[in-house]
Structure 1
Amino acid sequence: MAAFSESGPVFKSRCAQVGLASADVEKLEKVGVNSLAKVAFMTSYTPGSGDDKDLIAAFESALGTSPSVGQKSSFRRLFHEAYAVTTSEMKMLVERTDESIPRKLSVPERSERFEVVSKRLVGLSIKNRLEPADSLVDSFVSQYEQDKLQFVPWEKLVSKEQEASTGAKREPFFSLDSTGKLRSETKVEVRADTSTELLLQLALQRRGIAMEMANILDYHHHHMWVERLLAARLDAPPSTHMQPTLDQCQQADRKLWQLLGEATRSGIQLKAGGRPLDAIFEATWQTPEVLHLLQPMPRAAGASVSQQVAPPPRPHGPGPYDRPGKGRKGTGKGAKGTKGGGKEAGYTAVPIDWHHNKQRTCVHTLQLDLRLDSTWSFLRRICSEYNVAWVHMAPPCGTASRARECGPGPKPLRSLRHVRGLPGLPPVEQARVDSANTIYDNMVAFCDWLFHAMPHVPFSVENPLHSYLWQLPKWAALVSKHSFVTFDSCLHGSQRKKAAALLTNSEHLHCLSGPCPGCSSHLPWGKQGRSFATAEETNYPKLLCERIVACVDKSAASRGIAPERLSISKVSAARAAGQVQPRGRKFPPIISEFAYTVSVGSAEAPTLNSKHCLSTAWHGVPAGAKLLRESVERGGSRLPEGNKFYIFGVYRSMQAFLNEAKLVVHPFDSARSLPDELLRVLFDTLTKSPVDTMRHRLLKLQHWRALAKQLEPEEEKIRSAMDPCVRKVLGCKRIALMKRVAADLSWPDTALFDDLAAGFKLTGYLGRTGVFASDVKPATMDLDEFWASAPLRRETLLEKVRAQKDHDYAEELWNMTLEESNRSGKCWLDGPIDVDSLGDTFPEGWNACRRFAVWQGKWRAIDDFSEAAVNSCFGLPCGKIIGTLTASVLTARLMTFSIILLREPGSRAVKAFVCNTLPFGASASVMQFNRVALFLQRVLWDLRVAVTCYYDDFPTMTSSFLSGGTDNAVHALMDLFGFSLSEKEKPFSCTAETLGVVLDTSDPDMGRIFVSNKPERAAMLEESIGRILEQGQVDTRELPSLLGKLRFADAQLLGRTGRLALADLRLLGDKGGVLQLTDSQSNALAVLRARLLASRPRAIATSPPSNPVLIFTDGACDPCEGGFTTGVGGILFVPGKGVARAFGCRVPTKLVRQWAEGRKHIIGQVELYAVVLARILWSSYIGGERCIFFVDHSGVLSACINSNSIDASWRSLLLHLEAADEARPCLPWFHRVPSQSNIADPPSRGRWDELAFLGPFARDAPTCFVTGEALDAT
C-alpha cells in the first residue's frame, strides 16, 4: 500500500482513462513501469525541456514496436499527468506542516485497500457500523506517509455509515491553509458515540481496520488490546473497588499511543523486517505504565448501596440504570449560594483581579495590574511551566459597553468609527479608555501567544456580544481565527436577558450557545437604586460557572489531565491526621450525598418542587430524587430536537444511611500526613532490632566517609571556582559529597548544589525544585523598575535611620551585628563600612535595607527587605513551603541588593554592612533555607533517624535505647557535610520543649501524648488577655504580636476552645485605634483566659482505631401565627451498646422569641441548638471518644467546624459548645447528612413511629442548657 503516485490500481485506472489498451499496459508493467511515479522518471525528459524523442523512444522500447499516433498521444498525456502528480506529492512532503490537510485516497486506491483487507480478515464483515469512515482511513494513511504515529481521539473514530448520513448537514466556510492560500472547506460535527462498551468496541474495531488499511498495524494485534480494554470494563472488581471508568480506558489508550510514538521515532513505514508497530505493539500495551491506568480504584465511602439494605427499586425507563453511580456533593437547606468554580471541581485556580473590585469573590484572588507587561510575563511563565487545563479571561467592558448609548447614565466613550475612543474626551475619561485599551492590547497579544506557543491550552474570552471590544482591529483578527459562542445569559441562570459572547479556541464550549429558553419574564434594565443593572450582571450565575467547568472537565479529560475529584490535599490530610477537621470542602465526604445517580432521556420535563426534587416517581426514578443537571448531549452527540437527558441523584433511606454510617472509619484514623520515607523509618525502628539499626547507620556513614575521601579533588575544584566571599561563608562544606548522596537518593532538587556553590539569588523566580507543593506568587516588580527607584529609596531609608529614636535593643542589636561580621567567626556580614564609601565600592549602585530587632525569648535581628523592595522582585511559580537551616550564602552579584543600614549606638553614625548570607527577612531566604533543610532531613531518614524540620529546627524522636546512637549519628552526618549544630540542642528525654510547646510522652500506658504550652508562654498570654479584659478595651497596635502567639497556640493545643476569641481579635486587628469590647467579645476572651489559666495539656490519643460514636441531630422550624413552631431531635449510637438513645423536644419559647427579633428565619439557630444540646446531654458517652456528628444544615456544619460565627445568637450557642468541649474533650468530626436520610428528623417533629426499624431505644428528657428548664417532649 503506497502513495497515489506509487499505487498499482491508480496506474491502471489512469492508463485506461487516457486511452491506453490493456495489452500496452501489460507491456509497460513487464518492463517494471507499474506506477505513475515510474512513468514520470522513466527518462530524463521533463515537460517543457524541448523535444520528447527520448520519452517516445522509451515507450517504443517497452512496446517492442513502433507506436501509433494515438498511442503516442495517450502516453504523452499519461506522462504529463504522472509528472504533475509525482512532483506535487514531493512538494507536499517537503512543505508539509501540522496544518496541512490529510491527502484523500483516490477511488481505485481506496477500493484496492478495502478488497485486500476484506480478504485478509476472513470472517469479519466490514460494513455498516464496522466500516471506518473515509476520513478516518485518510487520517491513518496520512500518518503512514508522514512516517509518524499520532493518537486519534475516540470521538473521531466514526463509521462510514455515520459519515454518509451527515453529508447533508455540511456548512461551507473559508480559511487560510499552511501556504497562505484561501481554502474552502465544509465543516460538520461528526462524532463517534463511545458511551457504552458495545459502541466503544465498534469504534476501536474501526480504528484497527483503518490502521490495517493504512499498512500501519496488524488488525489482530490491535484487537488483542481492544479485548484487554473491554475486559477492564466488564470484569467484576473487588467489592471495595469501583469498575474502571471509560475515562480510565481512554487515558490508558492515550498512554499506549504515547509510548508507541516514543518507540517508533525512526518511523512506522514498512521495512525489510516488517511493520515496526507489529513487533512492539503487544509488549508495549503490557507495560505497567499502561496497565496500571486500568486498575480498579478504591471505592469512595458510600458510593455503593449497603449489602444490609434492600437496593432501591429498579427503574424501567430508558437510560443506563444497571449500575449505581458515584454520589455528588450538593447544597443542603440553609446553604448559602455561591458561584460554581473550578476550585470545587478539584482544579488549582489562579484567579486574578484588581484590588478595587467591589464584587465579593468566592475565592482568594491575586491582585495584579493587567496593564503591566510583568503581569503578562508572569502568566506566560505559568502556562509554560504547568499543565494548564483552561485560561478564561473577562476584560473590563465598562468603556466598551454599548449600554452607554441607551442612557440615562454614563456617556458613550467609543463608536464604530472610533473604537479606540472618541476624540476630545475629558482627561479622566480619556485615562479610563487608555487604561482599558492597554489591557485589551495585552490580552489579545496573550491570546495570540497561546494560540501559537501553547496550542494545546484552551482559552476563552467573555464580553457582551455587542461590546466594542470585538470591533478593535486586533480582536477582530483574533475572532476570524477562532470560534465565537453566543448565548443569552438567562439560558444559564441569569434573571436578565443579556446577549453574551465567548471567543474560544475550543469546541467544548459550543454547547453553551443558544437563545433565551422562553423565560416568562426577565428583570428590568436601567438604574436599580444607586447602581445600574449592568453592574449586577458582571457576576456569573452559578449555573453558568458549573457549565463552563463541565466543559473544562471534558477538555481536561481528553488531554489526560483531569483532577481527582476526591483527592485529599497534603495540608488537609495533615490537619486530619493531627486530629483537627479541615475547613470547608477540603476533605472528601466520608459518606456521599446520594446512594446512586441515574440518567433519563425524555422529551417531557419532570415535575419538581422548590428544592429541585421529584414530586412523584418519574420514569422509574423514585420521588424525592434531586435533579443534578440536564444535558442535550449524550456521548458527545446532540440529542434529537426537544429531547434532554436528566441526571438525578437518589438519596439513601434513613436506614440505609445509618447502616453506611456504622461502617465508617473516623477520618482522624484514616488520614495520614507522614511521607513514605518517614513511615519507613518508623517501621524499621519498630520492627528491627537496635543492633540492626546501629549496624545500618554505621555502614551508611562508613560508605559516605569513603565517598568524601574519594571526592576530595572535586571538592577542591568546586571551592577554587567559588567567589571569595562565597568560599568564606561555605567554609569546608562538602558540596560534591552532598550532590552524590542526593543522586543516590533520587533527590528531585538537583539544582540545589550548583546554587549553593554559586550563591543563592534574592530576586527573580525560583525554578521548579520538586520538593515544594504547587503555588503561585508573582513578582510585582522587575529589576529595571527596582534599580530605577533605588536611589530615591536609598536616600529615604538613610534619613529614616538617622532620625529614628533610640530603642532599648539598640546596643544588643549592634553587638549581634558585629558578631555576624566577625572575620574569625561567622563571616555572615562584611562591615561596618562608612556609608559615604559605598558609592566607590559599588559604582553600579546599591540598595539599602533597615535592620531592627524583635523579642522572641531573646532579641532577634530582622532585616526589612519588604521595605527595601527586594521581596517585590521575588516570585514563585513553583511551590510553597511544605516542611529549613542556618545561614546559606548569597550570590556575589546580588550583594548590592542587601546593604544593611544600622546606627552605631555611641557615635550615632549610620554604618553599612554587606550581606554574605541569606538574610532573615527576605522572601527568597525562606525558600532557599528550606531547600537545604529538606535535603538534610531526607538524608537523616536514610540513616533511620525519625526527624522533621521546621526552618532551622530539627525535632528528633527515638527510642530510649537508641538515644545515644541517634545523637552520635546526627552529629557525624553534619560534621561530614560541614554543617555545625547549634549549642541550644538538648538531650533526649520523655519530656521535650520544641517549637514553643512541651511534648510529654511519659504516659506509662503509652495511650496518650500530652502537648502543652511552655509555662512562661502561657503566663505571658494569660497576662495580656487579662489586661485587655480588665480595661474593657483593646489597642489594635498591640494585637499583631499577641495574635501571632495565640494563633500558634491555637494550632498546637487549644483545639476548639478560644476560637471565638481569636476570631474577635482578628476582626479587631483589621481596624485601628483603641476599641471597646462588647459583652460577647468579653465572654469569648474570658473563656480563652480560663483555658490558659487551667494550663490543661491537650491529650492526643495513640489508641488503635475504633468505631466512632454516631450522633444525628436535626431541627424543625415552621412559621405559625405569632411566631414559629420549633422542635429538635437527636439520635445517639455508641459502639458495643445495643440500644440507641434519642430525644425529641421543643425549644423554649423565650429563646425562640429572642432569636426571631428582626429575623425572618431561625432554622439555623434551631439546628445549632440541637447540636449543642446533644453534645451536653450525652457528654458522658462522648467524652474522650471519637465521634461523628451528622447535621443537615450547611451553615451549622460550617459554624461547628470553624467554631465561629458573626451572628450574636449563633455565637452564644457556640460558647456553650466550647464550654462542653472544655469540660469533657472528645475527638469530633462534623459531616452533612441530607434531610431525606436524617434519622433525627422524625423525633424533631414527634413522628416517633418512623423509627420502628431501630428496634427498642431509650428516650432521654433533656434540660435546656440556657434557661435550665425541662424541655417539653415532641
Structure 2
Amino acid sequence: VESLADLCADAKQSLTRPFKSVPVGSRILQVLPIAGGKGLSDAGFRVTFGVHRTEEEFVRTSLTLPHPFDLASSVPDEILDILGFTLIKGPLAVMRHRLDTLTKWRKWSEELRDAERLLHSRLHPDVERIAAKKNLSLLRRVAEDLGWSDSTIVDDIEGGFALVGEAKVTGIFELDPKPAAMTIAELLDHAKFVRPALWGKVSGAKAREDDQELWDITCSEAGDRGWLHGPYDWDQLQQMFGSEWVPVRDLRTLRSQVNAVNQAWSVMERISLRALDELTWACMAIMRACISKGEIFFRKSDGSTVSGPLHAYWAQDRTRCEPVVKTTDLRAAHKQFAICPRQQRVCVVTPVTLKDPADGKAKGFVCRVLPFGALASVGQFNRFSRLWQRILWELNLAASSYFDDFPAAEVRALASNHDASVKAALHLFGVDWADDKDLPFAQQADVLGVTLDASDVSRGVVRVMNKRERARDIASSIQRVLENMVALIHASRLALAQIRRLAEARHRHVLTPLEISAFENLRARMLSGRPREIPIRLGGGRTYVFTDGACDKNDNGFSCAIGGVLYRVLPSGAYERRAFGCYLDEAVVSTWAGAGKRHLIGPTELYAVVAARGVWKRFLDNERAIFFVDHSGVLSAMIKGSSRDDVWRSLLLHYEHFDAECPTIPWFARVPSKSNPGDGPSRSEWRFPVFGSFHQDDLQCFISGKALLQTGRR
C-alpha cells in the first residue's frame, strides 16, 4: 500500500469500501512500513488483511470439525506415544523398555556415586538437611539426557529456590509475565513496621488451650524433620538477620496483603493443569482400543500420527487391556525442597512466631523449605513436578501431573509392572512418596478429588463423579450456610464458581436470592447429581450450534432479539437443521436496563446460548457439541462458567439447570458476525446456509415463562 490514506476503515479497523481485491468489511490486522526510501513510509506499507468467510464457507468448514475432546487436543504428544507403543507393540516390549531404562539409570547412579557424595558435602547445611536423600547427580544426568528445557532446575534444587525476586523462564510453561508489585528492598522496608507490631501482638496474646500442642508440632518440624530451625527470641533473630527479616503469625497468612512477600515475586509463566482431562482421555483411548480391537490411530499436535494394528495379546482377551487408574502422591511435597538460604531473611516465612509455653515469650522459627501459600512455591515446585512427569514418560508410563499428584492410566495386564517401575524410580532418585496413601490400580479410583470410573467397558462409557464423602460434606456445609443466610469465608469457598468472589470477603456476607439459588443448585448436585458420562462412541453424530443476539435502541428503551441455528451431521452423512429467531420478553429486557446497564448486547448474546441449550435439550443431552458464539465476553463466561455480573450469573445459572441432568460435553468457539448463520434469524432474515430444509422451533422465555414472538417467517 503506497499510502495509508488509500484505506478507508472504521473504528474497528474494518474496511468501509473495497481496496483493490480486498472486499468491504475485511479487517486490517497488521501494518508494517517497508524498509527503503528516505523515511519510514517512503517505500509504502505492507498491510495484512483478514477477510471474513461467508456464512456458507464458515459453516461448511465447521461441519467437518470433530469435537476437540476426541482430537486429544489437551493431551501431550508424549502420552499419545506411550499409549500407542503399549497398544501396538504389546506387553513384552513395554516391560523390556521399562527394565532397560531403569537398568541404564542404575548404572549411571553407580558411576556417579563418588560425585554425588562430594556434591552433598558441598551443599549449604540448610539445603543438605532437606536434600540429603535426593540423587541429584543422577537427576542432572537424566535431565540432560532428556534434553530438558529447564536447564537450571537441578542447580536451584542444590542452591535452594528463591521466594522473592523474579521467576526464571523455563520453557516448560506458557509465557505469561506478571511483574511484582514491589521490590525486595520495598518488602524489607515494609517489614520495618510489620515486625514490631506482629511480635508485640504475639507477646501480648492470651494463652490458649492448644498452645502446647502447636508448640510441640512446630518443634518436631524443627527437630526431627528439619523443615524449620529454631526457636529464636527477638534478640537472636536481630543478631542473625539484622533488621532484614519478615515475620508472620501463621504460614497461611502468606497470601495476605500484610506480609506482602507474594507481592515481591514476579511470575513469568502460566502453569496449565489438565491432569483430569488427560487421564479421562487416556482411559477412553484404552477402552476404545479394548472394544474395537482394530486399528490404533492418534493424531499429534504437529499433524503426525501414531497408528498401527492392536497387538494380538490385547485382541485375544479384552480384559487384558481394560483401563485401570491410580494416583501416586508425593509426601510433604513442598517440604522436600529447600529455599535459598540467602532468602531466609527476606521471605515471609521467617520466622513463624508463637509463644514458648515454658517462659511465655514469643519465639520464632526460620523456615528451610518451600512454604505452602507462597506464590513462588507454586511455580518452583511445579518445575520439579514437570521434570518428574517427563521421567515417568521416559519409562513409558502414561502419567499426568497435578502439583504433587501423579495420576496415571494403564492397561490391566501391565498394572503391576507400572507400579513397580514407579516405585523403583522414586527410590532411585530419592523422592519421598506417601506409601500410607498408596492404593493399587483399579477400574474405579479416587483421583484429584473426584471418582473416575472406567469399569463399564461393555457400554463404552467413562464416568466422572464427585467423591461420595466429599459430596456429603459439601452439601452439609452448604445447608448450614443456607440456614444462616450468611456466608462465612471458609464456607463460601465451597460454593459455585459464580460466587467464588465471596471467598475473598473479609466480613459476613448476607446471601442474595441469586446466590441462594446457586448454593441450592450446588447442594442438589452434590446429593443427587448424576455422574458425568462420557461415551467413547459417537452414536448421535456431530452437533454444531450457532447463536447470535441483536440489540437496538428505540423510543421505549431497547429491542432485543436472538437467533440460533443447529446443524447435526448424522452417522449416515445426512444433515439435520433446526433454527429459532425471536424477540426477548420486554419485561426481562426492562429488568436488565433497570439494573443500570447501558449496553444489553452481552446479556442478549448470552441469553441466546442458554436458550439454545434449553430448546435443543434432546439433541444436546449427553452429547458432544461445538457452540459458536458471536461475543468475546460471552465466550469467556461460557468457558469459565462464571461472571462477576449479576445478570450474567443468573443466565449462567439457567444454563446449569438445563445441563444438570444430562450434561453435554461442550466446546465454545468464536464466530465473526459476518460469518454467523445465527445473525439472520435474530434480525428477521431467515437466509442462512440450509442445505435443504430446516425446522423452525418456538421458544418460551426461561425467565418469565412467556411465549416469545418470532422475528419473522420463512
TM-score interval for Structure 1 and Structure 2 normalised by the shorter chain? 0.7 to 0.9
Once the two structures are TM-superposed, the CA of residue 1135 in structure 1 deviates from its matched residue by 0.8
Q: Does 1:942 align with 2:389?
A: no
Shift of 1:1271: 4.2
Q: 2:624 matched to 1:1186?
A: yes
> Which of 1237, 1244, 1255 is matched with 2:692 structurally?
1255
Change (3 A) 1:836 1:685: same
- Cα contact 1:1112–1:1130 (8 A) shared by 2: yes
Structure-2 separation of matches of 1:610 and 1:750: 46
Question: Following TM superposition, by how much is the alpha carbon of 1:1011 offset from its aligned partner in structure 2, in angstroms?
Answer: 2.6
Contact 1:629 1:646 in 2 (8 A): yes
Residues 1118 and 888 (structure 1 numbering): CA distance in 2 closer, same or farther, change over 3 Å?
closer
Cα distance in 1 for residues equivalent to 2:525 and 2:376: 38
**Partner residue, 2:418:** 966
Asked whether the equivalents of residues 1112 and 1189 of structure 1 are also in contact (C-alpha less than 8 Å), the reply is yes
Q: Is the alpha carbon distance of 1:866 and 1:719 closer, same or farther for their aligned partners in structure 2, counting shifts above 3 Å?
A: farther
> Residue in 2 aligned with 1:889?
338
Given the superposition, is the C-alpha separation of residues 1004 and 807 from structure 1 closer, same or farther in structure 2, using an over 3 Å criterion? Answer: farther
User: 2:530·2:661 contact (CA, 8 Å) conserved in 1?
Assistant: no
Q: How does 1:488-507 map to 2 (within 5 A)?
A: none
Cα 1:681–1:792, aligned 2, differ >3 Å: closer, same or farther?
Answer: same
In the alignment, is residue 847 of structure 1 matched against residue 296 of structure 2?
no
Q: Within the alignment, does 1:1138 sit opposite 2:575 as a pair?
A: yes
Match for residue 741 of structure 1? 142
Helix, strand or coil at the partner of 2:386: helix
What does residue 205 of structure 1 align with? Answer: none
**Is the partner of 1:981 in helix, strand or coil?**
coil
Match of 1:990 in 2: 443
Kindly indicate whether residue 431 of structure 2 is the aligned counterpart of residue 1030 of structure 1: no
What residue in structure 2 maps to residue 210 of structure 1?
none
Q: Which residue, 1071, 1075, 1084 being the options, matches 2:518? A: 1084
Query: Residue type of the partner of 2:226?
Result: C
| 1:829 matched to 2:266 | no
Displacement of 1:1160 in angstroms is: 7.2
Contact 1:919-1:925 at 8 Å conserved across structures: yes
1:677-716 correspondence to structure 2 within 5 Å: 677-716=78-117
Does residue 800 of structure 1 match 2:201?
yes
Structure 1 residues 1174 and 995, CA, compared in 2 at 3 Å: closer, same or farther?
closer
Aligned 1:121-520 pairs, distance under 5 A: none
1 or 2, which has the higher strand percentage? 2
The question of whether the paired residues in 2 share the 8 Å contact of 1:601 and 1:645 is answered with no
Answer yes or no: is 1:978 the counterpart of 2:430. Answer: yes
Q: Secondary structure at the match of 2:663?
A: coil
Specify whether residues 867 and 1149 from structure 1 end up closer, same or farther in structure 2 by C-alpha distance, changes over 3 A only: closer
Which residue of structure 1 lines up, in the alignment, with residue 547 of structure 2?
Answer: 1113
Deviations 1:95-124 (A, max 9, x none): xxxxxxxxxxxxxxxxxxxxxxxxxxxxxx
Q: How does 1:618-1017 map to 2 (within 5 A)?
A: 625-626=25-26, 628=28, 650-670=51-71, 672-778=73-179, 793-806=194-207, 810-822=211-223, 825-832=224-231, 842=240, 847=245, 849-850=247-248, 852=250, 874-876=265-267, 878-881=268-271, 885-892=334-341, 894-895=343-344, 898-905=350-357, 908-982=360-434, 983-1005=436-458, 1007-1017=460-470
Does the 8 Å CA contact 1:848/1:901 hold for their aligned counterparts? no
User: What does the per-residue CA deviation read over 1:238-271, in whole Å, with 9 as the maximum and x for residues that have no partner?
Assistant: xxxxxxxxxxxxxxxxxxxxxxxxxxxxxxxxxx
Once residues 634 and 749 of structure 1 are traced to their aligned partners in structure 2, the CA distance between those partners, rounded to angstroms, is 38
Distance 2:228 2:46 in 1: 71
2-side partners of 1:864 and 1:1193: how far apart?
35
Q: Which amino acid aligns with 2:519?
A: L
Residues 947 and 1193 of structure 1: CA distance in aligned 2, closer, same or farther (over 3 Å): closer
1:690, CA displacement in angstroms?
1.9
In the alignment, which residue of structure 2 is the partner of 1:1228?
666
One-letter amino acid matched to 1:1261: D
Flag the 1:997–1:886 CA change in 2: closer, same or farther, 3 A. Answer: farther
Partner of 1:185: none
Return closer, same or farther for 1:647/1:1025 CA change in 2, 3 Å cut-off.
same
Amino acid at match of 2:250: F
CA distance in 2, matches of 1:777, 1:640: 35
Cα distance in 2, alignment partners of residues 1111 and 758 from structure 1 = 54
Give secondary structure in 1 for the equivalent of 2:578.
strand
Preserved contact between residue 813 and residue 852 of structure 1 (Cα < 8 Å) = no
Is the alpha carbon distance of 1:727 and 1:1156 closer, same or farther for their aligned partners in structure 2, counting shifts above 3 Å?
closer
Return closer, same or farther for 1:635/1:660 CA change in 2, 3 Å cut-off. farther
**Compared with structure 1, are the counterparts of its residues 747 and 1111 closer, same or farther at alpha carbon in structure 2 (3 Å cutoff)?**
closer
Q: Aligned equivalents of 2:163 and 2:45: distance in 1? A: 58
Number of positions where the alignment pairs a residue of Structure 1 with one of Structure 2: 642
What's the offset of the Cα at 1:973? 1.8
Contact persistence 2:551–2:600 (CA under 8 A): yes
Q: Supply the AA of the counterpart residue of 2:566.
A: L
Does the 8 A contact of 2:227 with 2:335 survive in 1? no
Structure 2 residue matching 1:934: 3-state secondary structure: helix
Distance 2:369 2:46 in 1: 64
The alignment's TM-score, normalised by the length of structure 1, stands at 0.45
- Alpha carbons of 1:647 and 1:811: their partners in 2 closer, same or farther (altered >3 Å)? same
* 2:696 alignment partner AA: R
8 Å contact 2:27–2:50 — kept in the other structure?
yes
Residue 345 of structure 1 is matched in structure 2 by: none
- Specify the SS of the correspondent of 2:668: strand
With the length of structure 2 as denominator, give the TM-score of the two structures.
Answer: 0.76
Structure 2 vs 1, CA of residues 1026 and 1122 (structure 1 numbering), >3 Å: closer, same or farther? same
Deviation at 1:803, TM superposition (A): 2.6
Listed one character per residue, the Cα deviations across residues 929-951 of structure 1 (whole Å, up to 9, x for unaligned) are: 33433333222221122223333
Q: Which structure's relative contact order is higher, taking Cα pairs within 8 Å and 6+ residues apart?
A: 2
The corresponding residue for 1:554 is: none
Contact 2:29/2:50 (<8 A) preserved: no
- For 1:625, the aligned partner's letter is G
Deviation at 1:1180, TM superposition (A): 0.8
3-state SS of paired residue (1:954)? strand
Q: Secondary structure at the match of 1:992?
A: strand
Percent identity between the aligned chains?
A: 38
- Residue 407 of structure 2 aligns to which amino acid in structure 1? P
CA separation of 1:809/1:1105 partners in 2, compared to 1, >3 Å: closer, same or farther? farther
1:811, distance to aligned residue in structure 2 (A): 4.5
Query: Deviation digits for residues 897-917 of structure 1, max 9, x if unmatched?
Result: 534433245654434434443
Following the alignment from structure 1 to structure 2, what is the Cα–Cα distance between the partners of residues 1230 and 848?
46
- Take 1:1162 and 1:1227, find their aligned partners in 2: how far apart are those partners? 28
Q: 1:636 to 1:945 in 2, by over 3 A?
A: same
Q: Which runs of 5+ in 2 are unaligned?
A: 274-332
- Deviation of 1:875 after TM superposition, in Å, equals 4.4
Which of 640, 650, 656 lines up with 1:1218 in the alignment? 656
Secondary structure in 2 matching 1:1085 = helix
Consecutive unaligned residues of structure 1, counting only runs of 5 or more, are 1-598, 855-861, 1047-1057
Q: Distance in 2 between matches of 1:973 and 1:1232?
A: 45
Q: Deviation of residue 610 (structure 1)?
A: 9.8
Provide the rounded CA distance (Å) in 1 between the counterparts of 2:365 and 2:399: 36
In 1, distance between residues paired with 2:494 and 2:421? 34
> In 2, distance between residues paired with 1:952 and 1:1085?
30
Contact 1:998–1:1014 (8 Å) recurs in 2: yes
**Please, which moves more after superposition, 724-733 or 612-621?**
612-621
In 2: Cα distance, 1:913 partner to 1:646 partner: 62
Higher CA-based Rg: 1
Using the TM superposition, give the Cα deviation of residue 808 of structure 1 relative to its aligned residue in structure 2, in angstroms.
Answer: 6.4
